[in-house]
Structure 1
Amino acid sequence: MTKKKKRTRMIAAVLLLAVLAVTYVLVLRADFNGEDVEEETEEITVLEIEREDISTVRLENSYGTLQFAYDGETWTSEDDPAFQLNQDSMSALFNRLNPLTAVRDLGEQEDLEAYGLAEPVITISITLQDGQEITVYLGNDSSDGNLYFMTSESGSIYTGDSYLATAFDCQLSDLEAEEEEEEDASSEESAESSEDASAEEESAESSSDSSEEESSESAEESSVEEETVSGE
């Protein structure tokens, strides 16, 4: 074997090793980045509040303050007890707290103002049936498109879904029962009234028919008696 051939084979071997080394590094980097993404997107459970455990809620947002009461089945407005709340909308709203999840836990931070939590944008104060009070504070939007929030149960600041602020920044009229529900209730009442009226009419007709039959029978009996007397 000539020196030229040996040199060529050596160069080829070196190039092959270089390609394998680069491939190995790229694979490791891809796996590492993949693990990072999974860790970053894994949700953190911060709170779990069962809707059935809620007694009262005080919601402070850009529109003012709203207060609600819940008896395990029905939501009512403590500000206006006669106001008809959309029960499905209320339940869906507070189901967002069961569970309340976060994307990142930033730990305890001294400068709450930097996160909009020194004076929270939205405050949700919940009193449970057993008297326990839990408060959720929503702050500014974070740089990753989420929002900063914290709770009375921990000193940590978290980032979570920014839609949480959109959902809870509502006014009483946003939670009003839909007109269709009220119309359906009125229709049912009207239908029941119509059925009752029809039943009364049928009863009256039956009574009238019975009276006519009785009158006819009485007339026939009188006629027979008169004929009998005349015959005698």
Structure 2
Amino acid sequence: MDMKKHRTLLILLALFVILILIFLFLSFYERKQEEQNGGDDSQISVTDIESLLALSYTDHSEGTTMSFAKDGNTWYVSNDRDIPLTQSYIETMEDTFCSLTATREISDPDALSDYGLEDPAYTIELTDQDGTLTTVTIGNSVDEDYYLAVNGQEDILYTADSSIVSSMQYDLDTMVAKDDVPSIGSGNLVQADITENGTTTIYSSDNDEQTETISTIAGGYGAMSLTELASYHADAEELASFGLDEDSRITVKLTYNESSEEESDEDPLTFTLYIGNTTDDDTRYVQVQDSDLVYLVSSGILNNLLGGSEE
């Protein structure tokens, strides 16, 4: 019986020693990782730029580069200031890369090719108010992070949260500030004036015989999405090729109440669209009055907007 107790104690002691060794190994490994990564790795500052004059980024997989310049507090496309931009997209990129933080610092890295940084996936160039250029290259993904390097440094690399990539994944069409369109439905559409080839057809919500047509027009308008762009600022020649010149286009003027309440003291408002030629993809060119942007919209949707009439 004593021998059995003695053997049990030896086994427990051996297990205890093994657990101690495991604990010491893990503590040593964790300490070495912290030393390599610069201690507390939750807030490793990579860039500290107060404000930018210019920002560009290249998606090497797509072979595309987008460049922006800042004038005062407003961002523009570098080679075309007339393109209206939704500022929040560029401001998010500016905030991200001016105060870039890493999740880990790699102070003794292997070759750049091991991290996808010899031929990076993305290159970002930041020019501050003093004209100083900072270059950030982004390589392979690792878990939920990406490897990156700053100003071509090879002795110190970083990993950063995937938000640095998601902040750039927009094409120019997405960034363009689209025209505002009012909310119009069958409940607040008062009248539709459709002019084609010099002839105007009027559809009124007060005409009981036109109730169904008014509903069709409102439905077509509600289904219309002004998101796909054909031109950022078409000149007279381009408008003519789109069938949007004054002599060729169809004009749709919608008169509507801002409120859908039947009894309202507010004066009706108007919203005017121009509709042009049909493309090979069965879309048509569309322009909002007083706007330089030209869109592509499904012919079927526009057919409803025109009252359901066939061309």
The DSSP-based 3-state class of the residue aligned with 1:92 is helix
The DSSP-based 3-state class of the residue aligned with 1:18 is helix
Pair 1:42-2:19 in alignment:
no
Q: Report the counterpart of residue 175 of structure 1 in structure 2.
A: 175
Letter in 1 for 2:106: D
Aligned counterparts of 1:24 and 1:113: Cα–Cα separation in 2: 39
Pair 1:133-2:133 in alignment:
yes
Q: Report the counterpart of residue 57 of structure 1 in structure 2.
A: 55
Aligned counterparts of 1:175 and 1:14: Cα–Cα separation in 2: 71
Pair 1:75-2:71 in alignment:
no
Instruction: State the 1:129 CA deviation.
Output: 0.8
Q: Report the counterpart of residue 150 of structure 1 in structure 2.
A: 149
Of stretches 65-74 and 123-132 in structure 1, the one that deviates more from structure 2 is 65-74
Aligned counterparts of 1:157 and 1:20: Cα–Cα separation in 2: 40
Give the paired residue count: 177
Aligned counterparts of 2:161 and 2:78: Cα–Cα separation in 1: 29
CA deviations on 1:146-200 (whole Å, 9 max, x unpaired) are 33321217333333334423432432122222545x769xxxxxx9xxxxx9xxx
Aligned counterparts of 1:126 and 1:171: Cα–Cα separation in 2: 19
Letter in 2 for 1:147: Y
CA deviations on 1:25-64 (whole Å, 9 max, x unpaired) are 45445655665777768243221223xx201122222362
Tell me, which stretches of 5 or more residues in structure 2 are unaligned?
Answer: 184-257, 259-266, 268-311
CA deviations on 1:95-139 (whole Å, 9 max, x unpaired) are 111422332425465x54454333433221121111111111222
Q: Report the counterpart of residue 105 of structure 1 in structure 2.
A: 106
Closer, same or farther in 2 for the Cα pair 1:25/1:80, shift >3 Å?
same
Q: Among all aligned residue pairs of Structure 1 and Structure 2, give the percentage whose two residues are the same amino acid.
A: 27
Aligned counterparts of 1:71 and 1:79: Cα–Cα separation in 2: 13
Q: Report the counterpart of residue 21 of structure 1 in structure 2.
A: 17
Closer, same or farther in 2 for the Cα pair 1:19/1:76, shift >3 Å?
same
Closer, same or farther in 2 for the Cα pair 1:125/1:27, shift >3 Å?
closer
Letter in 2 for 1:161: D
Question: When you count helix as a share of all residues, which structure comes out higher?
Answer: 1
Aligned counterparts of 1:73 and 1:8: Cα–Cα separation in 2: 82
Aligned counterparts of 1:8 and 1:63: Cα–Cα separation in 2: 74
Q: Who wins on radius of gyration, i.e. which is larger? A: 1
TM-score (norm: length of structure 1): 0.58
Question: When you count strand as a share of all residues, which structure comes out higher?
Answer: 2
Judge conservation of contact 2:137–2:149 (CA < 8 Å) in 1: yes
The DSSP-based 3-state class of the residue aligned with 1:168 is coil
CA deviations on 1:70-112 (whole Å, 9 max, x unpaired) are 2342212222212221112221122111422332425465x54
Q: Report the counterpart of residue 215 of structure 2 in structure 1.
A: none
Judge conservation of contact 1:120–1:138 (CA < 8 Å) in 2: yes
Aligned counterparts of 2:21 and 2:112: Cα–Cα separation in 1: 42
Tell me, which stretches of 5 or more residues in structure 1 are unaligned?
Answer: 185-190, 192-196, 198-232
Aligned counterparts of 2:174 and 2:15: Cα–Cα separation in 1: 63
Judge conservation of contact 2:92–2:167 (CA < 8 Å) in 1: no
Aligned counterparts of 2:75 and 2:159: Cα–Cα separation in 1: 29
Letter in 2 for 1:14: L
Could you list the runs of 4 or more consecutive aligned residues of structure 1 that deviate by over 6 angstroms after TM superposition?
36-41
The DSSP-based 3-state class of the residue aligned with 1:47 is coil
Closer, same or farther in 2 for the Cα pair 1:83/1:63, shift >3 Å?
farther
